[in-house]
Amino acid sequence: AREQASTVQQYDPAHDTNAAHRLELLGELRRAIGADDQLTLHYQPKIDLAGGRVTGVEALIRWQHPRLGRVAPDAFIPMAESTSLIRPLTAHVLDLAVRQAKAWADQGTPIPVAVNLSTRCLLDAGFADQVFDLLHRVGLPVSLLKLEITESMVMTDPDRALAVLRTLRSAGVSLSIDDFGTGHSSMTYLQRFPVDELKIDKSFVQAMANSHGDAVLVRTAITLGHNLGLSVVAEGVEDDAAVAALRALGCDVAQGYHYARPMPAEEFDRWLIDYSS
């Protein structure tokens, strides 16, 4: 019954102008990080467009508050990012994701898990060591962890961020540029980033069928990615037409509701059996 109520009620702090409420929500988030039962991860598969294989999953945080109901990540992540709370939150997400990746590897179905990183982590000199410690403690091969970063994130202090990224990458953690095409112009930085993958923002993928400009942007991003030796992922793939168009453009990987919504790990296991048979 609680589960049902939660899908109806959804709290959106972006539309709550009351500063006291926002402050209270931050307090609730701090408690949730310690409590261990309100914050969970959902996993969404990424599909190889040529062969149909599952190449990995993206971990996406979900917050189910006992009184407020479900709070969307787009609402509380930016709020957490404006405070130091994003550090323990990111550490918590990494911990959950790495343990789940380890469970999948132990089950005999190793699946790379991608975690979204927040701005501040890359400005933390100790961040890479924190990641290595976690991998070591859990016993997860480095190759099964991916990190997704946004361009604007790296722009705030490119030199510091680049040092952290290089350390992670040279240890074998693969890196993705998320939401490509939005935010700051980044052609020059993209070339300097030690990344493996480029994810085209879903807004372009969704608009591509009806807008010539968006279709051109998607095609250009794929070419740019390939010219830089990157694997290109399209986000927000919702129908057959998008799959066909992306395949024709030589896009490597697709992610979106067409294949699966983000889901809890146990549900993903069932989805994978179904998908693979």
Position 179 contacts ligand C2E (CB under 6 A): yes
User: What minimum distance in Å lies between the beta carbon of 108 and ligand C2E?
Assistant: 26
Backbone angles phi, psi at 223, to 5 degrees: -60, -45
| Among 81-89, 129-137, 141-149, 218-226, the segment contacting Ca ion (CB under 5 A) | 141-149
Site string for ligand C2E, 184-203 (x = CB under 6 A): ------------------x-
User: What minimum distance in Å lies between the beta carbon of 128 and ligand C2E?
Assistant: 17
Instruction: Name the residue nearer to Ca ion (CB basis): 13 or 181.
Output: 181
Position 240 contacts ligand C2E (CB under 6 A): no
User: What minimum distance in Å lies between the beta carbon of 147 and ligand C2E?
Assistant: 10
Interface positions, 65-104, toward ligand C2E (CB under 6 A): 72-74, 77, 93
Among 28, 151, 178, 252, binds ligand C2E (CB under 6 A): 178
SS (H, E, C) the chain: CHHHHHHHCEECHHHCCCHHHHHHHHHHHHHHHHHCCCEEEEEEEEEECCCCCEEEEEEEEEEEECCCEEECHHHHHHHHHCCCCHHHHHHHHHHHHHHHHHHHHHCCCCCCEEEECCHHHHHCCCHHHHHHHHHHHHCCCHHHEEEEEEHHHHHCCHHHHHHHHHHHHHCCCEEEEEEECCCCCCHHHHHHCCCCEEEECHHHHHHCCCCHHHHHHHHHHHHHHHHCCCEEEECCCCCHHHHHHHHHCCCCEECCCCCCCCECHHHHHHHHHHHHC
| Among 16-24, 136-144, 178-186, 244-252, the segment contacting Ca ion (CB under 5 A) | 178-186
Position 28 contacts Ca ion (CB under 5 A): no
Instruction: Name the residue nearer to Ca ion (CB basis): 18 or 82.
Output: 82
Interface residues toward ligand C2E, by CB under 6 A: 44, 60-61, 72-74, 77, 93, 116, 118, 178-179, 202, 235-238, 256-257, 262
Residues of this chain that bind Ca ion (CB under 5 A): 116, 148, 178-179, 235
